[in-house]
Amino acid sequence: MTLMLAKWVRGELERNGYRVVMTRDGDQDPSFDDRSAVANAHRDAIFLSLHVGSTGTPGTVRAYVYPAVPEESTQAESQSGDDEQAGRGLVEWDRAQQPFVGQSRKLGDLLQTEFSQRFAHSPELSTVYPIRDLRSVTAPAAAIEISSVAAPDADMIAQMGPSLAAGIARAVAAFQPPGETGVAR
């Protein structure tokens, strides 16, 4: 179901002038770090991770973005000498999202605005939550959860595809016009 929705999104983004790189095209199950590595290999990417959730009101969509780590915590670790890589320009894998949390929040809120207008009872703003598959991405990133696999009619989720794809494409265009970025999923 998720792959079918992702293909709808890919098609809509490509029709709008974006280059889309998918992290899977079949029943593969790449790790979170493998997915991040794909996104991180592309300059100026936007990372979107789609999920069909097991909770939530059926027919709703929610965007999640990774939380910021308090600046004092980051500075204290760098000053303590524990980070051997700090002087070499390397990024700690589990803190890769930190420089992008502001951009990710903007992207998440643009997505969520679209979802709230298209899917009744969806919230108006994105949710900040430490979603594992976002933390090691070095680009603006959002996880999109479509609810719910518990829907009485599985076709309901499939029918959300065109509107979901259109909303995502519109939010991405508001975030970064075509030709100025790549999109990785």
Which residues of the chain, if any, have pLDDT below 50? 73-88, 181-182, 184-185
Amino acid sitting at position 150: A
The pLDDT tens digits of the residues spanning 22-38 come to 999 888 889 998 999 99
| CATH superfamily entry for domain 2-23+31-68+94-176 | Zn-dependent exopeptidases (3.40.630.40)
Q: Which is nearest to 105 in space by CA: 125, 124, 131?
A: 125
What pTM value is reported for the model?
0.85
Res 85: pLDDT: 38
Q: How many helices (H) and strands (E) does the chain have?
A: 6, 6
